[in-house]
Chains A and B, each alone.
Chain A
C-alpha cells in the first residue's frame, strides 16, 4: 500500500504490542495486533537516504514487548499487506 502510493525504501524498524495491559488487550490479541514504526521515502531519481539516515539498522526501541525485525525491512511487505 505504501509502495503503491509511490514511496520507496519502505522499512519496518520496530514492532511492539501497545495494547498489552490495556483493557483492549484481549481484542488486540484476537487479531494478533502489533504496533509498528515504518519509514519510507518519496523517490527522487538517483537519490538514496540522506547520509545522516543511511544505516541498515535504525534505532530499535526497548519498550515493553518490543522486538526488532529485519532492519532492511524484509517484513514490511507482509505487515503492510495485513493492514486493516
Chain B
C-alpha cells in the first residue's frame, strides 16, 4: 500500500474540520444526537444535558462506552475524540477525581472540544493535539482507551493498536467502535484517498 499519509491526514482534517464548523451541512455519513440515539443505541437521556457543540458534530459509528462505563477516578483516553460526545460522557463517569484525555489531529475539533470544556465545566477533560499512531501519552498511564469511528481512517492500524497497548496500564481496557468491511477493496483503490474519506 502506498497511500500518502500526509495527504490522507489533510483530507481527513478537511472533512472533519467542516463537520466541526457545519455539522448539518450534509455528509456521506450521519451526524448528530438523533443519529446516535436511533442508529447506535445511545440513551437520549445521557445526551440531553450535553451542549449542541458536543453532540451536533458527533460522527461515530458505534457506542464504545456501552461496553462498560469508566469508573470514578479512572484515566480515560479518547483516540480521535472529535467534538467529544464519548469524551464528555466518560468525563461524567470518572468524575472530578478522574481524567479524560481527548486526542485529535483536527484543529477545528480541538477548538470545539476546548470550548465545550468551558461550557460543561467538566475540567477533568483535556484536549491534546496528536495522532493515533503516536499518542501523546506516557507508557501505562491509562485505565481505558476508547475510540469511535477513527481507527479505520489510519493507514497504520497496527501502530494504533500498539500505541493503545503501550499507554494502557496492565489489565487496562480497550473499547472501540469502528467500521469493518466484509468485501475486499481492490488493491489499486486502497491508494485512493477518496475511498478512505468517503
Contacts and interface: CB of A to CB of B under 8 A. Distances in A.
Q: Do A and B come from one complex?
A: yes
B67 A41 contact: no
B90 to A, nearest CB: 14
A32 B179 CA distance: 10
Contacts of B162: 5-6
B39 A65 contact: yes
B176 A37 contact: yes
A36 B26 contact: no
Nearest to A27: B198
B61 interface: yes
Interface residues of B, number: 45
B174 A14 contact: no
A27 B178 contact: no
A58 interface: yes
B182 A32 contact: yes
Interface of B: 26-30, 38-41, 60-64, 66-68, 149, 152, 157-158, 161-162, 164-165, 168-185, 190, 198
